Amino acid sequence: MVLENVGIVGGGTAGRGIARALAQAGVDVTLVEASDQRLEQSLENLREGMDRDIARWSITESERDAVLARVKGRVSLETVQGMPVVIEAIYEDRKDKEALLRELDRICLPDAVLITNTSTLSVSALADTLSRRRRPYLVGLHFLHPVTRIPAAELVRGRETGQQALAVARALVELLGKELIEVAEYPGYVTSRLTLALINESVHALMEGVGTRDGIDRAMKLRFGWTHGPLALADEMGLDSVVRAMESLWGELGLPQFRPAPLLRQMVTRGWLGEKSGRGFYRYDEAGNRLADEELDLARPSIPVLDEEEE
């Protein structure tokens, strides 16, 4: 199966990562955002991310330019109506994903495959909001963050997912050179369920004074050979995205390990969302580079009250 054009709706961390990975594989991508401002920011973040990789000698300038030439930004959803494959990659909110998928159902080609990049939601439940003719064309494909570096993706088939949708999903993952892992349709699947629980426990350990921010991240990197510790990973994912995903699993499963730690909620309330806001567990410059900073005084025996001067 030849994939030449793919539409992606949602230019956040996940959408940009998928767009970049596809463009690097030679696919033309139409990236749709909700407004000119958000689209401009998304494309700027895409370029800045690749510029950081150039500085690390991971890619060349010509490779960056080739990717940017293949990614076309748009603000009208109608621009994907003729695409054979459209990927939904907006934030993890059930109602908003359902509304978007219904709109894609309305405007897309009758046999266009819709791929949802949900990390916690039921593909079957999302399909139930679509017309009956469309339901076999919806499939779940969870790309793992960061998309361009993690060599795996989770495939989730809904109750009515058909063979064409499965074939397209497999072909897309093969094109990207990733290993496909089929998982059962269950809240959080495998990677999100385990990753979110680990992040939440790490935040609790920080709150309880078990370890410092740097100590917790360093310990997990050394123990498992990770490039990121769990707190740094949460910053990169976006603390608001982490909280939304945890709340989804908390609501679906009712397991205490997915009830977001109070510190996480407090940081999101204050607008400390991680890399994208310049402040999370670490500090970042406008290009998303981590700044050298002193350990934040967050590890206390009780729920911390963050200093007003840190706002």
The CATH code of the domain that includes 122 is 3.40.50.720
Whether residues 133 and 196 share a domain: the answer is: no
Whether residues 50 and 176 share a domain: the answer is: yes
Whether residues 205 and 264 share a domain: the answer is: yes
Q: What is the pTM of this model?
A: 0.85
Structural domain count, the chain: 2
| The predicted structure's pLDDT at residue 289 | 80
CA distance 1 to 240: 37
- Reported confidence tier of residue 226, pLDDT bands at 50, 70, 90: confident
Whether residues 211 and 110 share a domain: the answer is: no
Whether residues 21 and 45 share a domain: the answer is: yes
**Lowest-pLDDT range of 21-30, 135-144, 221-230, 300-309:** 300-309
pLDDT in tens, 178-221: 999 999 999 889 999 999 999 999 999 999 999 999 999 999 99
Whether residues 237 and 102 share a domain: the answer is: no
| Domain boundaries, position 122 | 5-182
pLDDT in tens, 166-188: 999 999 999 999 999 999 999 88
Helix residue ranges per DSSP H, the chain: 13-24, 36-55, 61-70, 94-107, 123-127, 163-175, 191-207, 213-224, 230-237, 239-253, 262-269
**Distance from the Cα of residue 294 to its chain's centroid:** 28
Whether residues 195 and 174 share a domain: the answer is: no
Whether residues 72 and 167 share a domain: the answer is: yes
Percent of the chain with pLDDT over 70: 94
Strand partners, 86: 7, 114
CA distance 23 to 6: 10
Among 182, 208, 236, residue at a domain's last position = 182
Residue 303 has pLDDT above 70, yes or no: no
Whether residues 177 and 31 share a domain: the answer is: yes
Answer for the pair 250, 188: CB distance below 8 angstroms, yes or no: no
| The predicted structure's pLDDT at residue 295 | 63
Residues recorded for the chain: 311
| The predicted structure's pLDDT at residue 297 | 52
Among 115, 148, 182, residue at a domain's last position = 182
pLDDT in tens, 39-76: 999 999 999 999 989 988 999 999 999 999 999 999 99
Q: Is the dihedral of CA 63, 88, 193, 209 positive or negative?
A: positive
**Distance from the Cα of residue 32 to its chain's centroid:** 16
24: closest CA among 82, 69, 90, 54?
69
pLDDT in tens, 80-96: 999 999 999 998 889 99
| The predicted structure's pLDDT at residue 300 | 44
pLDDT in tens, 109-128: 999 999 999 988 899 999 99
CA distance 290 to 281: 10
| The predicted structure's pLDDT at residue 285 | 86
Q: What is the CATH number of the domain that holds 227?
A: 1.10.1040.10
- Reported confidence tier of residue 228, pLDDT bands at 50, 70, 90: confident
- Reported confidence tier of residue 302, pLDDT bands at 50, 70, 90: very low
CA distance 61 to 225: 29
Whether residues 218 and 150 share a domain: the answer is: no
| The predicted structure's pLDDT at residue 310 | 47
Q: Which residue has the tokens 């339901």?
A: 135
| The predicted structure's pLDDT at residue 199 | 97
Residue 299 has pLDDT above 70, yes or no: no
